[in-house]
A and B are shown apart, each in its own frame.
Chain A
């Protein structure tokens, strides 16, 4: 057990050093520190590669991202969430449903992708990236190769949207709430959504996170829907509450708990400021690690047709959700 801590420590120290370097260099050259942190990770992974002694610790980036999201709840209140929350919720449900149907339709009728792979791509694009792919993969008894394939497509789309969304946000000069809701509704994985949101502005980051968490919470409903669809056709796997719970993003509950605590005034203003600083540091550390997951060689192995299917759906939903966000917020 002590050895497990020892194995993780060098990589965690490297993530912290990367975060410090990103903050220092970003201030020096005037680039956004979160995007720079991701860039540092990408540069390391795609040049010399992540050294073996650092690998275990660097893979802990999910822990720091979850911690940052939970703590972020302390900067919001139930009142501020309810103000625009109902419109966001409607947009989230519409976007998830729309994405799933578009990917399924294009995959089956146009691209000729196998039914199960199409369902995995639809879940990954509609909900929360790789977690949704794994959850639905279990529910529809997909092959491991199909799960790996769909997860690869999700990572490819993540890599592209991390670059494209900040550019579009800047060119169109989108307000923080609009950009945040748009990114939260139409990008795929949670890490990149949070990164581009906070890279745009504090407000955009909060709304991007909130919107994405609402989307993530639908993972159970989509996995159950797919499970019952495939079960009716006699080709699904057993879906248990335990399996759904295992794939449910639990940090959503921690985030809501902190929103609740902040709403009843548990945190003093100076404590909220300290926790906001902690969130910044946690995201910086997480994003250095997240960057190391973007490996160009792996992305090249992703099939062109499945990637095109997801890119088509994300493009359609992205344009539609941006139009709605601009009209509503």
Chain B
């Protein structure tokens, strides 16, 4: 059951991602990197 729900959420997320243009996708990638850095990830 949980597996199905997670699978469904994943598919929806990928669907929404694909619907975005490169500018928005890039901005979200930047946001994800900034969040990772804020949580202590170091990028060499």
Assign chain B's interface to a size class: 20 to 34
Q: Name the segment of A119-127, A159-167, A270-278 touching the other chain.
A: A270-278
Residue in B11, B23, B31, B38 whose CB lies within 8 Å of A250: B23
Residue in B11, B23, B24, B41 whose CB lies within 8 Å of A1: B11
Complex Cα distance, B15 from A258, in Å, reads: 27
Identify whether the interface residues of A are mostly helix, strand, loop, or mixed.
helix
Task: Confirm or deny: B14 has a beta carbon within 8 angstroms of a beta carbon on chain A.
Answer: yes
Contact A251 B29 (CB under 8 A): no
Residues of chain A within 8 A (CB-CB) of B43 are 274-275, 277-278, 281
For A, the interface residue count at a CB cutoff of 8 angstroms equals 32
Contact A66 B14 (CB under 8 A): no
Task: Confirm or deny: B18 has a beta carbon within 8 angstroms of a beta carbon on chain A.
Answer: yes
* Closest CB in chain A relative to B23 CB, distance in Å: 4
Contact B37 A66 (CB under 8 A): no
Residue in B21, B30, B38, B44 whose CB lies within 8 Å of A70: B30
Identify whether the interface residues of B are mostly helix, strand, loop, or mixed.
helix
Residues of chain B within 8 A (CB-CB) of A60 are 22
Tell me whether A67 and B26 are in contact in the complex, defined as CB-CB below 8 angstroms, given that A1-B11, A2-B11 are known contacts. Answer: yes
Task: Confirm or deny: B2 has a beta carbon within 8 angstroms of a beta carbon on chain A.
Answer: no
Complex Cα distance, B18 from A107, in Å, reads: 39
Contact A62 B14 (CB under 8 A): no
* Closest CB in chain A relative to B14 CB, distance in Å: 4
Contact B26 A275 (CB under 8 A): no
Contact B14 A258 (CB under 8 A): no
Residues of chain B within 8 A (CB-CB) of A5 are 14
Residues of chain A within 8 A (CB-CB) of B27 are 66-67, 70, 250-251, 253-254
Task: Confirm or deny: B4 has a beta carbon within 8 angstroms of a beta carbon on chain A.
Answer: no
* Closest CB in chain A relative to B15 CB, distance in Å: 5
Residue in B14, B22, B37, B38 whose CB lies within 8 Å of A278: B37
* Closest CB in chain B relative to A7 CB, distance in Å: 11
Contact flags (1/0) for B6-37 with A, using CB distance below 8 Å? 00000100110010011111110111011001
Given contact pairs A249-B23, A254-B23, A277-B44, a sample of 19 additional A-B residue pairs in the complex whose CB atoms are under 8 Å apart: A2-B11, A62-B22, A63-B25, A63-B26, A64-B26, A64-B29, A66-B22, A67-B26, A70-B27, A70-B30, A71-B33, A250-B23, A250-B24, A251-B23, A251-B26, A254-B26, A274-B41, A277-B43, A282-B29
Interface residues of A (CB under 8 A from B): 1-2, 4-5, 60, 62-71, 74, 246, 249-251, 253-254, 258, 267, 270-271, 274-275, 277-278, 281-282
Give me 6 A-to-B residue pairs in the complex whose CB atoms sit less than 8 angstroms apart, sorted by A's number.
A67-B29, A70-B26, A250-B24, A254-B23, A274-B37, A274-B41
